[in-house]
Chains A and B, each alone.
Chain A
Amino acid sequence: MLDIVGSKVRFTVLASLAKGSKLSIPVTPRSVARVYGVNLTETYRFFRRLESSGLAVRVRGGYVLSERGLALVDFIVSTLPNPTQWSSPFMEWVRRSVPDTMYYIAYPRLQSWFGLTPYLIVFDRRLAGALELPKGIKVVGESSGLGEGLVLAVFTSLRGKSFKYSWDYHLSIASLEQGYSDLISYTPFWTNIIPDVLLNRDVLDIDEIFERATGAGRRRLATALAYYMTLTGRVVTLKTPFYSLVDESLLSSVIEMTPYLLDSRILEARNI
């Protein structure tokens, strides 16, 4: 569609309005400009142009497509790109059905273990009940086990969350720290995720992960960090006073991470 409309601003506004209108949810120029990283003035201008041409109407909480505009929804959605790199049915569903300002995908971008990559889709909580999730995407806390292909979903407020639309994947993706804080906070496989954070602490802002995490996430990360420092004798400098967050009930789970934190030769040689 980018080829047809000729500008990123037009593409983003039309795609957001089309997907939002399907769910009867208004979108705001500000959120579109922020998530897609496009010019805010241009975005406002195009919304107003659509409004003046009768394709969009201003409602409480943003804009939606008008009756005339709604006739274009299926066409707009059908032209949305579906890049082959991320061409799973789940991702395609997200691309075509969910406004990019109302979700983001968190995944361990610094994954240092072999195996499938788990994904967490963080939806705006206003979408709860409005979306019919495809079979296989499990909502955290609603059912045990993982979704097919390790895809989990959570509905929460997106206020203050850090994410951007990726023009490569055509999906909204969490920032590095936001992604890790969500994976640690919400998913049952947080013990697989934390070694990534600890072993890549040079390229991550661990204080920001603490700030962005939920209470549970902070306790998990603090307990793991305290164990890691005791286990390895390595020092991590932080502004977060994490020892007060250490949760003793999580220690057994944290100790199970040991093989992922130290070289197996050291573990064997020193009987750790």
Chain B
Amino acid sequence: MNGRPGVQEFSEAVAKEVPDIKVLDEELEILSRGLRLSEGERLDVLRMLERVYYIVLLMRELQDYFNNLVQFGGGAVLNYIFISLMDVPRFTFDLDASWRGRVEGKRRLLGELTRFNKYMAQKHPISMPVDESKCLELMVVEYDVEKNHFPDILSLRLPVITRWSGLEFYKYVRARTGVRMKFNLVKELRRIFSNTLGVRDAKIDYVRFEISFNKEYPGVEVEVELPFKLGVANLNITELEYQLASKIVYKLGRDYGEDLGYVMHDILKATLDLRLLEAVDRRRVASYVTRIAGETGVTLAEVKTNITTNTRYLVERGGDYWNNIHYILVRSKYQDVGGLVREIQRKTMETLNP
């Protein structure tokens, strides 16, 4: 079929590493929990699920490789691992993790990720030919130059091949390396993508993730069945109760003052994640709220007042954000954002006033 070195291997790697449409379709059925979605909505969800697949895969690989050194938390874990067991998830495309154990500066962590990259390059080898002899490595972690603004959070990204999101493969190569791929090679790769993925101009997108360090969060190990049939994993996660308490104090119950209008999206995300209050030890959540509020110098009464203010604002003005594609499944199930937010607010207050 071709004589160019690396092309055949690349073709096999694409078929192995990029999730099959069938896998995405099956996951869509599970996540949508019998909801009737229009053809357009189904396609939107399917497109997002391709990225979610990579997030879950990355989480599994980080856990397998670093074992007790990493701990996961945040929207991706809450929605794709836990909320999806009881309700429809909101979509999120960042993975948050924390590093257990002390590290001096980010370079030490970047060294650890270099080791991880060797593991990834062996387990998920995918080298895309860019000219007669050279290749570009995909599915290895790199420092995210566009982010990384905080001293104790390392922002990273993993370039992956997708059908729908990101830059067309030849544009990505040009943007990242300055190499203009020759037409014959583009043609050859297009044929591979067409045969394996069903799209001619496959894209390359980043799975973004962050690792915070030098901050301890209460953690637990949970055995979970990962979506997309990615197997069973023993995940180290930040205790769900602690995560929900953080969302209450830092997001829903925070005093934003005049900036309230600018943070509606964050408040809506946190509110939706608090659906998980149903499934956790709410007394433990309340106790963490008291502790975190104390650490941040606010009283429980202030937190409660802020929750009332913020949710009222969300009900009145949050409609625009509600239409965001990230909430496509939630919106299909709960047509009325106001009703849902009020219900979650009631549960949150109930948790804080046992």
Interface residues contributed by chain A, number (CB under 8 Å): 26
Q: A residues 158-179 with Cβ under 8 Å of B?
A: none
Query: Is the Cβ of B106 less than 8 Å from the Cβ of A272?
Result: yes
Query: Is the Cβ of B144 less than 8 Å from the Cβ of A270?
Result: no
A203 to chain B, nearest CB (A): 14
Query: Is the Cβ of B136 less than 8 Å from the Cβ of A235?
Result: yes
Number of interchain pairs (Cβ within 8 Å): 90
Interface presence of B118 (CB below 8 A): yes
Query: Is the Cβ of A229 less than 8 Å from the Cβ of B140?
Result: yes
Interface presence of B142 (CB below 8 A): yes
B30 to chain A, nearest CB (A): 35
Residue on A nearest B9 in the bound complex, by CB: A241
From DSSP, what is the main secondary structure of chain A's interface residues?
Answer: helix
Interface presence of A230 (CB below 8 A): yes
A98 to chain B, nearest CB (A): 37
Which residue of the partner chain, among B108, B117, B133, B135, contacts A226 with CB atoms under 8 Å?
Answer: B117
Contact A241/B114 with A229-B142, A231-B107, A232-B143 known, Cβ cut-off 8 Å? no
Query: Is the Cβ of A248 less than 8 Å from the Cβ of B118?
Result: yes
Chain B, residues 119-138, CB within 8 Å of chain A (1/0): the string is 00110000100110111110
B: interface residue count bin:
35 or more
A242 to chain B, nearest CB (A): 9
From DSSP, what is the main secondary structure of chain B's interface residues?
Answer: mixed
Query: Is the Cβ of B107 less than 8 Å from the Cβ of A258?
Result: yes
Query: Is the Cβ of B118 less than 8 Å from the Cβ of A246?
Result: yes
Q: A residues 208-224 with Cβ under 8 Å of B?
A: 223
Interface presence of A243 (CB below 8 A): yes
Query: Is the Cβ of A271 less than 8 Å from the Cβ of B105?
Result: yes
Contact A243/B107 with A226-B114, A233-B144, A271-B152 known, Cβ cut-off 8 Å? no
Query: Is the Cβ of B134 less than 8 Å from the Cβ of A223?
Result: no
Interface presence of B194 (CB below 8 A): no
**5 A-B residue pairings within 8 Å (CB atoms):** A231-B107, A231-B110, A237-B134, A246-B118, A251-B111
Closest 9 CB pairs of A and B: A243-B121, A271-B151, A237-B134, A233-B143, A246-B118, A233-B142, A239-B133, A272-B106, A233-B145
Q: Which residues of A contact B (CB under 8 A)?
A: 207, 223, 226-227, 229-233, 235, 237-239, 241, 243-244, 246, 248, 251-252, 254-255, 258, 270-272
